[in-house]
Amino acid sequence: MPRALITGITGQDGAYLSQLLLEKGYEVSGLLRRSASAEVMGERLRWLGVQDRVRMVDGDLMDLSSIIRAIQEVKPDEVYNLGAQSFVKTSWDQPLLTGNVTAMGAHNVIEAVRLAAPEARFYQASSSEMFGKIQQQQQSEKTPFYPRSPYAVAKLYAHWITVNYRESFGMHASSGILFNHESPLRGIEFVTRKVTDGVARIKLGLAKELPMGNLDATRDWGHAKDYVRAMWLMLQQEAPDDYVVATGRTISVREMCRVAFACADLDYQDFVTVDARFMRPAEVDVLHGDPAKAKAKLGWEPTISFEQMMAEMVEADIARHQSRMR
Ligand code: NDP
Ligand code: GDP
C-alpha cells in the first residue's frame, strides 16, 4: 500500500486529495497543527466522508522538528505540501507570518524530506499568483513571474526552492503552478465562495446585498476535484517537473457573479455593491493559463465546467443555510 503525507490536509485541496488517494488504495496521513477548536478542523474531510480513513500526525509548518518526526513516523512514498497561509488579502495584513508559513514552511517540508525520506516524491503547491502582473497574455511554465502580493512573493520562494532541491540533490520534487480552483469546500473568504454563500443568504432572505471588491479582475477558474488529480499525476511521472494547471478560459468577477446569481434565478445587479474594503493594495488584473504541457505530458484535462461548478457551489450553500435554519 503506497503511503502519502499531506500538509494542509484540513484545507480544500487536502480534503479532495485525501479522497482521491484513498480511492487509489493509499494509506493517507496528514499534518495537523494544534488548535483550540480541534473538533471543527476536520469539517471538509467529514463533508467528503473520509475523516475516519486518514491518520493525523501533530505538526506545524513552522516547526522543522515536528515535520521530521511526522515523516519518520509515516515513512511516506509521496509528500504533498499543500499547507500555507493561502489568502492573498490577508498576506498584506500578516506579511511576515505569510513568509514564515508559505515560504519557509515549504522549505522546512522539503528539507525534512531530504533528511528523513530522500527517496520520497515531493509536490509543492505553487500558484498562478506568481505570474501577478502578467508578462504574457496566456501564462505557461515559460512565462516570467512578477508577484504582486506578499503571498505571491512567498510562493515564489517555495517554488524556486523546490526547483533548487531537484537540481541540487536529485530529488523527485515537482511544482504544480495551479490557477484558481474552487468547490463547495473553498474557504468562505475567497471570491467564488463568498458569492455563492451570498447568493444563498439572499435567496433565503437572510441578506439583502453583497458588498464586493474589484469586479473587473479576471481569473481562470477550475474545480479542485480536477486539480488534485493533476497533483497526483505529477508524482507518477518518471521525472519530476513543473506544470501549469488551468482551464485555458478566463472569466471576470462580474461575470462570475452573474452566473452564480442566475443559478438561483436572481439578477446580480440587484444585489452586488462595490465596497472599498474589499479592494487590494496591488491587484492581479488578469490570469489566463495555458495548460498545454499538462495535457500533453500528464494526459490531464478538466472535466467539470465553470457553470457546473458554480451551480454545485450555490446548491451546497443553499443546503447549508437551510440546515442551519431548521
Ligand atoms: P486552504 O487555505 O483551504 O488550506 C490551507 C491549509 O494549510 C489548511 O489545512 C491549514 O490548516 C494549513 N496550514 C496553514 N498554516 C499552517 C501551519 N502553520 N502549519 C500546518 N498547516 C498549516 O488552501 P487550499 O486547499 O485552497 O490550497 C492548497 C494549497 O494550494 C495552498 O498552499 C494554496 O496556497 C495553494 N494554491 C491554491 C489555489 C486555489 O485556487 N485553491 C491556487 C494555487 C495554489 P488549518 O485548517 O489548521 O488552517
Ligand atoms: P486570489 O486570486 O487568490 O486572490 O483569489 P480570490 O478569490 O481571493 O480573489 C480573486 C479576485 O477577485 C481578485 O482579483 C480579487 O480582487 C477579486 N475580488 C473582488 N471582490 C472580492 C471580494 O469581495 N473578495 C475576494 N476574496 N476577492 C474579490
Q: What would the pLDDT profile of 164-177 be if each residue is shown by its tens digit? A: 999 999 999 999 99
**Residue 243 has which C-alpha cell?**
506544470
Q: Would residue 129 show up in a list of annotated catalytic residues for this protein?
A: yes
Planar angle of CA 234, 98, 94, nearest 5 degrees: 155
Question: Which of 98, 118, 99 shows the shortest CA–CA distance to 110?
Answer: 118
All residues at 6 or more sequence positions from 302 whose CB lies less than 8 Å from its CB, including other chains: 222, 223, 226, 247
User: What confidence tens digit (pLDDT) does each residue in 156-215 have?
Assistant: 999 999 999 999 999 999 999 999 999 999 999 999 999 999 999 999 999 999 999 999
The verdict on whether 43 is a catalytic residue reads no
From the list 127, 149, 175, 183, the catalytic residue is: 127
Atom 15 of ligand 2, residue of closest alpha carbon: 214
Q: Which amino acid would we find at residue 230?
A: A
Q: Is the pTM of this model over 0.95?
A: yes
Residue where the block lists cell 503552478: 177
| pLDDT single digits (tens) 7-58 | 999 999 999 999 999 999 999 999 999 988 877 789 999 999 999 999 999 9
Note the pLDDT tens digit of each residue in 59-114.
999 999 999 999 999 999 999 999 999 999 999 999 999 999 999 999 999 999 99
In the set 16, 123, 126, 129, the catalytic residue is 129
Q: Residue whose CA is closest, atom 17 of ligand 2?
A: 214
Could you say which ligand is closest to the alpha carbon of residue 213? 2
Question: Domains in the chain, ordered, with CATH?
Answer: 3-181+221-245 (3.40.50.720), 187-219+250-287+304-325 (3.90.25.10)
Is pLDDT above 90 for 274? yes
Q: Which ligand is nearest to the CA of 84?
A: 1
Decide: helix, strand or coil at residue 185. coil
Rounded to a whole number, what is the largest CA-CA distance in the chain? 58
Q: Would you list the DSSP string of 54-83?
A: EEEEE--TT-HHHHHHHHHHH--SEEEE--
- Measure CA 178 to chain center: 8
User: What integer pLDDT is reported at residue 281 of this predicted model?
Assistant: 97
3-state helix, strand, coil in the chain (%, to 5): 45, 15, 35
- In one-letter notation, the amino acid at residue 95 is P
pLDDT for res 47: 96
Give the pLDDT confidence of 236-264 residue by residue, as tens digits.
999 999 999 999 999 999 999 999 999 99
